[in-house]
């Protein structure tokens, strides 16, 4: 792919998708921390349905907006592909003809023709009794789970940095809220 197409893809697809993902994850974290946490862990939709708390319809609005934003993020690449190539049957045919990328050294589970190098159960037990390498131990770590947990900690930490202040005990409390001085806003505000 030529360099100018890489730059176009960066600014038209990758950066907007990352920005939308970031904003959706941040607003989802804010939604969970403010709405659900406000009622000591109870879901606001369930409590609002029974009339327990006033003003809970905004929780439904936020959930709808967040769901639509997430669907948009997941479908933006297909949308751009279909809109930038609307009548081009040749391009769609070429995309359908693209084959799967073969990973060397990996086979599908259940093929039955793979040779794992063990000719008997005793060979396999000897392999298990041997010292494990650092690579084998690290291959047991679920990396996607680790990444999700790291991003969760990041967004919760960002929530506390932006919406709370630290008190003298070291804990975090909500920032002080004030009423606006006037209801008139200038064009520049």
Mean local confidence (pLDDT), 48-54: 39
- What rounded mean pLDDT belongs to the chain? 75
Q: What is the pLDDT of residues 68-96, one digit of tens each?
A: 877 887 788 788 777 777 666 777 788 78
pLDDT score recorded for residue 70 = 75
Q: Is 59 exposed, middle or buried (0-12, 13-18, 19+ CB in 10 A)?
A: buried
Please give the Cα distance from 68 to 24 (Å, whole number): 10
Q: What is the pLDDT of residues 123-160, one digit of tens each?
A: 666 666 677 788 888 888 899 999 999 999 999 999 98
Residue 57 has pLDDT above 90, yes or no: no
**Cβ-Cβ contacts under 8 Å for 66 (sequence gap 6 or more):** 24, 27, 28, 31
Which residue did the predictor score with more confidence, 123 or 17? 17
Share of the chain above pLDDT 90, in %: 15
pLDDT score recorded for residue 48 = 38
Is residue 15 within 8 Å of 76, Cβ to Cβ?
no
For residue 31, give the nearest of 52, 53, 56 by alpha carbon.
Answer: 56
Is residue 132 within 8 Å of 9, Cβ to Cβ?
no
Residue 7 has pLDDT above 90, yes or no: yes
Q: What is the pLDDT of residues 97-119, one digit of tens each?
A: 888 877 666 555 545 554 555 55
**Cβ-Cβ contacts under 8 Å for 164 (sequence gap 6 or more):** 172, 173, 174, 175
pTM of the predicted protein model: 0.49
């Amino acid at each position: 792919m030529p360099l100018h197409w890489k730059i176009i893809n960066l600014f038209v697809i990758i950066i907007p998708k990352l920005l939308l993902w970031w904003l959706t994850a941040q607003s989802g974290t804010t939604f969970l921390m403010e709405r659900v946490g406000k009622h000591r862990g109870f879901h606001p939709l369930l409590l609002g349905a029974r009339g327990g708390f006033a003003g809970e319809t905004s929780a439904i609005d936020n959930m709808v907006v967040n769901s639509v934003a997430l669907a948009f993020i997941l479908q933006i690449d297909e949308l751009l592909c279909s809109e930038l190539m609307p009548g081009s049957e040749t391009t769609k045919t070429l995309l359908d003809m693209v084959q799967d990328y073969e990973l060397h050294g990996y086979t599908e589970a259940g093929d039955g023709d793979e040779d794992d190098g063990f000719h008997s159960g005793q060979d396999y037990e000897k392999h298990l009794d041997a010292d494990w390498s650092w690579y084998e131990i690290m291959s047991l770590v679920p990396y996607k789970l680790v990444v999700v947990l790291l991003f969760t900690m990041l967004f919760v930490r960002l929530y506390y940095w932006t919406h709370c202040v630290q008190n003298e005990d070291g804990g975090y409390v909500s920032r002080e809220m004030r009423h606006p001085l006037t209801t008139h806003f200038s064009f520049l505000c």
